[in-house]
Amino acid sequence: MQQPVARVDVVRDTYFGTTIEDPYRWMENWKSEEFQAWVKGQAACTRAYLHALPGRDTLLAQLTELTNTAPDLHNFQVMGDRVFYLRRDPGENMAKLVVRLPDGQEKTLFDPNVIEGEAQTAIDWYFPSWDGRYVAYGISQGGSESSVLHVLEVDSGAILDLAIPHTEFTHVSWLEDNRSFAYHRFPERPAGTPETERFRDGCTYLHRLGEDPANDRPVFGANLSVGVEVGRDDYPFLIISPLSDWMIGLVVHGDLEEQSIYAAPRSALADPATTPWKKICDIEDEVAGYDLIGDTIYLRTHRDAPRYKVIATSLPQPDVAHATVIVPESKAVIEGIKVAGDYLLLDDLDGGIGRLRRVKRSGGGPEALPMPFEGSITEWANAPGSAEVLVGMASWIISPHLYRCDVSAGTIEDTGIYPPSPLDFSDIETHEVHYPARDGTLIPLSIIHRKGLKLDGNNPTLLEGYGSYGINMTPFFRPRMKAWYDLGGVWAVAHIRGGGEYGKAWHLAGKGLNKGNTITDFIDAAEYLIAQKYTSTRRLAGEGGSAGGITTGGALVRRPDLWAVMVMNVPVANALRFEFTENGPPNIPEFGSVSTEEGFRGLQIMDAYTKVRDGVAYPAVLITAGANDPRVVIWQAAKMAARLQAATSSGKPVLLRVEFQGGHGMGSTQQQFNEEYADTFAFLCQQMGIKIE
């Protein structure tokens, strides 16, 4: 390959006595002609290289077949007697919005697959009205997640004459008239506004169908709601529920899990300037979820309970300090709570397995409900307050099912709405083990492969890790991995610190100045797989995406000798510069800021780009990026690729793979995902010496 060589122009920054050199700072001007020419040249070289790999087309055909054997259903919502969800059928690139009516008939409401254009349209989110008559939904193109809000009428299928831009990551709350809704949007920015301003100063507005959205009035936000504190990087959402005469003002502090919650009578919405908001809880109360009914709000909190507990307080007279404990902390992590009839339903994570418990709202202890199999709870939904809850479940080798949980009766049965996959995974087995990290902490590790695997150190192995935001890597069904298993491959998922598998303490053990644990846990997982004879350094690959790029990038620069290949998907690679991207300010609560010494030291641990050293024999590396990525801007991947290409002495390829009609993965087409997996698996096989039949 004759990859374009990036110009070196070193910029030096000094933080708290430490000087950091950045040879490719110029790439941060990613819309410049120079950068665009370089990245397009890189992408063309990568495309030619990957397309010529032996067996790549065979893999693509197999992956296409694997992902078109059954429909994919997700994002279930229930309003009244109507069930809404997103559905992608075999042969389709994108999910469409459908509704299942009481007679069992399924009706398509919006289908992006029939929209012509170079950039594929995606449904970003949707919110049905209380009576199920209308649906507000957001669409964007090319993976950009630049949502535009639209509304359709369910019965007629008509799309109303309404388009509200800048509604990324929004929440829509319909009012009881089923013709008005509150929604969050970001302000229109003039040309030349710094990128870091894009997701700032959001506010919630009130819209009534048939009126001009230009006249929508703000109802919840900064300098608007008396007694409510909203920062520039906060997201102020207004939540209105049929279950209560109280409305909730929810302030989400960027990517911080802990929320600030306010309450006020719904009747006060008529005059936002005088709305009598009462503060329910703030960041220090460590509340990470809630539900409400009548005058009571239930709060999921990790205060003095790292695996979470549930407390209840009054909306008219809130007092979190003296709140009633409804469910105390136990060994299971409480992942979510939901009002369901006379009960509160709990979504638990118990040693990596999803469980359900119910507890009477009138009092009493929690009771475990029977589960159909050991796997993960992928989602749940019910009509507001209904005792019938739809529960999605899956595992590493069991395809998704949708169950109906009758919380009052304590039963759970298959709805038949989600047909099981016809793929045969009977020859695949899973192992849930623990390995010791270097400090002695036992880290969970999931290992999946074909039955009869020989532990001879010769198996191609893909180790995946994430480890940020308290996000769990729970069991999920990935049909594409069947192609890897058929090659004799092992897939391992390390549940490293920084995730939430064991609650808040597990998250904090891999956050900030503790971020080194996330990286070394991943390295220790690799060494465990080698020690147990699953694989060897010549047939071991690491993979992680987004914030998982901190994990994989850190493991790459710390132990380049450990890997045959490292795959970094849309990675955060240059953490020291991340806060200066459009999505940087909301992520400061998770990653930190160079404006403080502690923040800088933590970011220095996370930053792989500045740790690349000249003359080191780095393994083969595949880095992916999306040109329209609003979460991790393309230059994060580009700078890492350029630095590795210039530094490595191994002669092994460092490839930058770019989706020019893609973003962070949300909104990508089925074909795009299959192409990426085919490229990745073919690259792994080439570097590991595996022949694709």
Give me the residue spans of the domains in the chain. Answer: 71-163, 423-688
| Mean pLDDT of all residues in 30-40 | 97
∠ CA 162-166-170, nearest 5°, is 90
∠ CA 585-213-278, nearest 5°, is 60
> What is residue 116's predicted lDDT score, i.e. its pLDDT?
86
99: Cβ–Cβ under 8 A, 6 or more apart, which residues?
82, 83, 84, 106, 107, 109, 132, 154
| Mean pLDDT of all residues in 83-92 | 97
H/E run at residue 591: helix 584-591
491 forms beta bridges with 448, 462
Lowest mean pLDDT among 110-124, 308-322, 448-462: 110-124
DSSP state of 648: -
C-alpha span between 560 and 554 (Å, rounded): 10
Q: Give the closest residue to 635 by CA, choosing from 580, 674, 562.
A: 580
> What is residue 648's predicted lDDT score, i.e. its pLDDT?
98
C-alpha span between 383 and 508 (Å, rounded): 35
- 668 within 8 A of 658, measured Cβ to Cβ: no
| Mean pLDDT of all residues in 618-632 | 98
Instruction: State the residue for tokens 């995606």.
Output: 122
C-alpha span between 384 and 42 (Å, rounded): 51
∠ CA 434-436-440, nearest 5°, is 135
Burial of 588 (0-12, 13-18, 19+ CB in 10 A): buried
| Mean pLDDT of all residues in 276-304 | 98
Would you place residue 1 in the very low, low, confident or very high pLDDT band (cuts 50, 70, 90)? confident
Average pLDDT in the chain: 97
Pair of tokens at residue 46: 């990568």
C-alpha span between 300 and 311 (Å, rounded): 7
Beta strands 461-465 and 490-494 are: parallel
> What is residue 693's predicted lDDT score, i.e. its pLDDT?
84
Cα first-last separation, the chain: 26
421 forms beta bridges with none
Give the CA distances from residue 527 to residues 160, 436, 521, 537, 554, in Å, rounded to whole numbers and listed in that order: 57, 10, 10, 9, 15
Task: Give the tens place of pLDDT for each residue, 383-419.
Answer: 999 999 999 999 999 999 999 999 999 999 999 999 9
Q: What share of the chain is helix, strand, coil (3-state, %, to 5)?
A: 25, 35, 40
| Mean pLDDT of all residues in 133-141 | 98
C-alpha span between 626 and 550 (Å, rounded): 17
SS3 at position 346? strand
Percent of the chain with pLDDT over 90: 97
Pair of tokens at residue 18: 């430490």
- 223 within 8 A of 209, measured Cβ to Cβ: no
Beta strands 565-569 and 620-626 are: parallel
Pair of tokens at residue 588: 């400061």
Q: How many helices (H) and strands (E) are present in the chain, helices listed first?
A: 10, 37
Count how many residues are written for the chain: 693
Pair of tokens at residue 187: 């302000």
- 687 within 8 A of 565, measured Cβ to Cβ: yes
| Mean pLDDT of all residues in 116-128 | 93
Task: Give the tens place of pLDDT for each residue, 647-693.
Answer: 999 999 999 999 999 999 999 999 999 999 999 999 999 999 999 98
| Mean pLDDT of all residues in 5-24 | 98
C-alpha span between 238 and 250 (Å, rounded): 6
What's phi and psi for 185, nearest 5 deg?
Answer: -145, 160
Dmax over Cα atoms in the chain, in whole Å? Answer: 72
H/E run at residue 151: strand 148-153
C-alpha span between 583 and 239 (Å, rounded): 24
Task: Give the tens place of pLDDT for each residue, 495-538.
Answer: 999 999 999 999 999 999 999 999 999 999 999 999 999 999 99
What's phi and psi for 159, nearest 5 deg?
Answer: -95, 125
419-446 CB burial, b ≥16 within 10 A, e <16: eebebebeebebeeeebebeeebebbbb
> What is residue 652's predicted lDDT score, i.e. its pLDDT?
98
∠ CA 673-676-680, nearest 5°, is 140
Tell whether the model's pLDDT for residue 270 goes beyond 90: no
SS3 at position 679? helix
- 150 within 8 A of 139, measured Cβ to Cβ: yes
Would you place residue 376 in the very low, low, confident or very high pLDDT band (cuts 50, 70, 90)? very high
Q: Give the closest residue to 510 by CA, choosing from 461, 474, 472, 542.
A: 472
Task: Give the tens place of pLDDT for each residue, 626-646.
Answer: 999 999 999 999 999 999 999
C-alpha span between 693 and 690 (Å, rounded): 9
> What is residue 272's predicted lDDT score, i.e. its pLDDT?
85
C-alpha span between 154 and 351 (Å, rounded): 42
pTM of the predicted model as reported, rounded to 2 decimal places = 0.97
Percent of the chain with pLDDT over 70: 100
SS3 at position 467? coil
Give the CA distances from residue 536 to residues 486, 520, 539, 554, 683, in Å, rounded to whole numbers and listed in that order: 19, 18, 5, 20, 17
Pair of tokens at residue 527: 């060494």
| Mean pLDDT of all residues in 247-254 | 97
Tell whether the model's pLDDT for residue 271 goes beyond 90: no
> What is residue 418's predicted lDDT score, i.e. its pLDDT?
94
> Which is it for the CA torsion 259, 264, 266, 270, positive or negative?
negative
Question: In CATH terms, is domain 423-688 a member of 3.40.50.300?
Answer: no
| Mean pLDDT of all residues in 476-485 | 97
C-alpha span between 616 and 135 (Å, rounded): 55
What's phi and psi for 670, nearest 5 deg?
Answer: -60, -40
